[in-house]
Amino acid sequence: MSEAVRTFLRTNQERFLDELITFLQFPSISTDPSRKEDVQLCASWLRDHLQMLGLQNVQLFPTEGHPVVYGEWLEAGAQAPTVLVYGHYDVQPVDPVDLWDSPPFRPTIRDGAIYARGAMDDKGQVWLQLKALEAWLRVEGRLPVNVKVLIEGEEEIGSVHLGDFVKQHRQMLDADVVLISDTAMLGPEKPAVCYGLRGLAYVELHVRGPRRDLHSGSFGGAVDNPANVLSWMIAQLKDRYGRITIPGFYDDVRPLSELEQQALAQVPFDPAAFAHSIGVPMLYGEAGYSPVEWLWTRPTLDVNGLWSGFQGKGAKTIIPAAAGAKISMRLVPDQSPADIAQKTIRYLQYLAPPTVEIDVLDLYGGDPVLVDPESPPIQVALKALETVYQTSAYLIREGGSIPIVSLFQKQLEATPVLMGFALPTENAHSPNEHFHLDNFYRGMETVAVFYELLAATMAQQSTQKHR
């Protein structure tokens, strides 16, 4: 990367931050139907920005849900590799909103970080991608690689319509590499490239008992209580060793290779510090595995929400008519979300006693992902990080899910490169989400370097693929 590109990135930092603040002010919560228009406004604003950057074929593609923003620059030539930059402009809900120190959609700078919903997941990381493109185009008038930019609005709800969109636009989206900044570094000054993601299966369980809430005195003892039943059913989902008891749940879990086990063992991890950072007395997980394995390579089952009966102040003496829970499972290769959801639903139906009725909704799923860590794009990403951060970069897996990544892998035969600049402590999906500005700025430089190194490494590789 030329000194001029670097200088451009450094002298415009203040403007880039102002732009990001504007981006973060859109309350683009994809799961909330009342925010549909805000999501749309955010997409239109983003499209206008891609246009301003000088991308071509800039479009807002409507879907049955929220729109997809697209733009491209394809003048690097047929020899040059093509990179599809993927990100998302939608964000998680913000409740409990009273736990935020500043309002989630009024971005605030504190202690070198920007606080807002979406700061690191994923608007801040989308922005550093766009600014790397801007720097090359403004300073050099060109990019070292062909670039396609795809920014969707439904990542936080499982990319429900993007799958079809990718299948319908396979040619338009064709690429050698999918570059994604939606993951975290291992820690401050510990840059990392992620070669594996967990998948997700998400169900909602409803237990229905009496037609209406009952007086717990007049009826108690003779009527099964949906809240007690729900609790009992949830308790049956794990055994005393922390193993998930859904029949067949572990059938398709691929054992770790020896190489992987060795790589994982090298990852620095301090359980006490980790526990302290999130405020729990101790970590807890499946018997027989290490904390790093718990987080990256083992499937999980978590209740994400629970509700039943009277939740107000004081005491109300009822047998609730119904109870419900949101239950999600993180999956690892080669578990399939549809298969796991089906096994879960079947097991819940088996557990349900004859005293109640249950419904289980399959809310959504995403495939797990695994990339060969030896592949050239991953190696180039490591080098770009080492160039900018001046330290060696780690090869890691990640416990979270980006459901669409495996689709890119399958549909486009592209290699996903997960090069994220967030930190694990930046409160993703929680109150006080934030993103450190030093990584925001170094992230831009890293991406700018990545393009140059990739062009040098992959010209031949690209030719081979299309032969």
- Contacting its own copies within 154-173 (CB under 8 A): 157-158
DSSP structure string for 392-443: PPEEEEESS--THHHHIIIII-PEEEE---B-TTS-TTSTT-EEEHHHHHHH
If binding is defined by CB under 8 A, does position 184 make contact with its own copies?
yes
Burial of 40 (0-12, 13-18, 19+ CB in 10 A): middle
Task: Tell me: does residue 337 bind its own copies (CB under 8 A).
Answer: no
| 200 interacts with its own copies by CB under 8 A | yes
Q: How far is the CB of 359 from its own copies (least distance, A)?
A: 14
- Both ends of the chain: CA-CA distance in Å? 29
Distances (CA, A) of 279 to 272, 275, 282, 285: 10, 6, 9, 16
Reference 422, options 447, 404, 440; nearest CA is 440
> Whole-angstrom Cα distance, residue 126 to residue 287?
38
CB of 235 to its own copies, least distance (A): 4
- The binder of its own copies chosen from 111, 281, 466, 467 (CB under 8 A): 281
| By the rule CB under 8 A, 62 interacts with its own copies | no
Q: 342: part of which helix (H) or strand (E)?
A: helix 337-351
Residue type, 76: A
What x-and-dash track marks residues 216-235 binding its own copies by CB under 8 A? xxxxxxxxxx-xx-xxx-xx
Q: Which is nearer to its own copies, 286 or 386 (CB)?
A: 286
Binding-site string for its own copies from residue 382 to residue 411, where x marks contact by CB under 8 A and - marks none: ----------------xxxx----------
Is there binding between residue 315 and its own copies (CB under 8 A)? yes
336 binds its own copies (CB under 8 A): no
From candidates 257, 266, 311, 464, binder to its own copies by CB under 8 A: 311
Residues 349-378 within binding reach of its own copies (CB under 8 A): 353-357, 363-364
Tokens 């691929």 belong to which residue? Answer: 254
In the chain, how long is the greatest CA-to-CA distance?
Answer: 80
Q: Rule CB under 8 A: which of 235-264 touch its own copies?
A: 235-238
Question: Tokens 């081979």 identify what position?
Answer: 464
3-state secondary structure of 69: strand
- Give min distance, CB of 273 to its own copies, in A: 13
Comparison of 277 and 460: residue with beta carbon closer to its own copies: 277
**SS3 at position 74:** coil
Q: Which structure tokens are listed for 308?
A: 């039943």
How far is Cα 316 from Cα 310, in angstroms, rounded to an integer? Answer: 6
Q: Is 291 in the site for its own copies (CB under 8 A)?
A: yes
- Under the criterion CB under 8 A, does residue 279 sit at the interface with its own copies? yes
Residues 71-110, interacting with its own copies (CB under 8 A): 92-93, 95-96, 99
45 is a contact residue toward its own copies (CB under 8 A): no
